[in-house]
Structure 1
């Protein structure tokens, strides 16, 4: 499937009447699992990207090249549309422009650009925000870097995100309205926690809303739909689950458990399906003259 078709599917979600929960993906196998299970959308988060690629925490050590290459691997493996957490765009507004170009070429259906000051400043414990004016410049640069108009650009604000970055709700509202006016395709929020906040954002803006947190009183699909929330994340538990499974398996092997006695392993049928083994065998026959055994 061409990249544009994937982006149009994401736009259909943003223009639709429902609120969907994306699957957290981070490599070719996880995205194929999400696709096969029927997820409409994948979310490639910055924290899981850092873990999957570097094994490091989410402290902006990953590079744009590493992020884009991982997205390219997933794009090759699956046709599932993916939204990429592009953090702060890896620098200033000009870097943001290049970030958009690289992720567009890698097959992302959409991406988020945020207004958090990254990497973390020296001597400052809590996360900081860039100015509203710089944030607006980044959103405009992101739009300017887009060559495929179907690529979805989401403006994300770190306000209400916890710690010192969680400035007043008035600041959050002002940034939301300003980013809405730049022409981005959707607004992304991670720190909204009450219905009152979501209602205020919805009333003050016009764009589709994406939420990174829907716990507590926000865990209500009907309410989210009524407030123009089109995508609601549900964390990155698949990576945590896979980490625990690998740890338990290696621990059991180290302690003397025989491979045949291990529990919870993927069947050969499931593994073959995720490898698209039938397709590979068909191509081997058509192009290499290999007969089926």
Structure 2
């Protein structure tokens, strides 16, 4: 299986959608994606809290479950790395052992605040963030394990501050840079400043909503696109409609008369036939 590092080095940009469990990972693989992303924000929302409440070990456990269901390279939303530079030693070690091929680390304060989710950022000193990146790079065991350095500073402190932070993170050895912005002129400024590959996170709805195509990504030096929202919103909408229909005793508007077909598709995604075949060969003879 090709590593994420190799994918980013050549070929088209890599698109990694959000997954939260093995079933979603399997379905993303069946859909033809080449990489997947375990998001912290979405994981927190699934427990009706935020990513600020998530621990390193529970994210690594989720990574193990996802990795057991799919062979796709998996990216970890590592939030703030779960601590200071010293704490990165354990964070990187566990992330690698859990099977992740990359970790995204951002420059927000610890503990993170829920205000991040409404666009209000609290960032640490640039030098402190650079130290965290430098330590993460130094302690990784595999050269194929990628460190994605992220700054959210543009939203509160302007592009110049974000670029200065990114320069320090690049000097610290980051493999990819992610400056959180969706403004075209800011994306162009980032592309002109750095030789490193860049990560981009489109708004909910994906690249179509952002109005970007493959040619745009190439021009902006974007090598990794992560959609951390759309699958969660689609799942939330589907469940809302399903529960409302069940409460009213009405047909599910999404499944409708295709219940048998959807049940068959679900069992295919799960791989039930493979498990049944094992039982036929062993305990069901």
**TM above 0.5, one fold?**
yes
State how far apart, in whole Å, the 2-side matches of 1:123 and 1:245 are. Answer: 27
1:133 CA drift (Å): 0.9
Contact 1:98 1:145 in 2 (8 A): no
Match of 2:130 in 1: 136
Whether 2:204 is the aligned partner of 1:203: answer: no
1:284 CA drift (Å): 2.2
Per-residue Cα deviation, 1:4-30 (whole angstroms, up to 9, x for no partner):
x4xx43112211242232222111111
Alignment of 1:100-139 (within 5 A): 100-120=92-112, 126-139=120-133
State how far apart, in whole Å, the 2-side matches of 1:132 and 1:144 are. Answer: 18
User: Structure 1 stretches of 5 or more lacking a match?
Assistant: none
Equivalenced residue count is 276
Whether 2:144 is the aligned partner of 1:150: answer: yes
Match of 1:244 in 2: 237
- Normalising to structure 2: TM-score of the pair? 0.87
Contact 2:34 2:73 in 1 (8 A): yes
1:130 CA drift (Å): 0.8
State how far apart, in whole Å, the 2-side matches of 1:136 and 1:192 are. Answer: 23
User: Structure 2 vs 1, CA of residues 68 and 27 (structure 1 numbering), >3 Å: closer, same or farther?
Assistant: same
User: Structure 2 vs 1, CA of residues 101 and 193 (structure 1 numbering), >3 Å: closer, same or farther?
Assistant: same
User: Structure 2 stretches of 5 or more lacking a match?
Assistant: none
State how far apart, in whole Å, the 1-side matches of 2:198 and 2:284 are. Answer: 51
1:218 CA drift (Å): 6.1
Match 1:71 to one of 51, 59, 63: 63
Alignment of 1:94-105 (within 5 A): 94-105=86-97
Alignment of 1:146-185 (within 5 A): 146-160=140-154, 162=155, 166-185=156-175
State how far apart, in whole Å, the 2-side matches of 1:121 and 1:248 are. Answer: 31
Match of 1:221 in 2: 214
- Normalising to structure 1: TM-score of the pair? 0.85
State how far apart, in whole Å, the 2-side matches of 1:245 and 1:212 are. Answer: 23
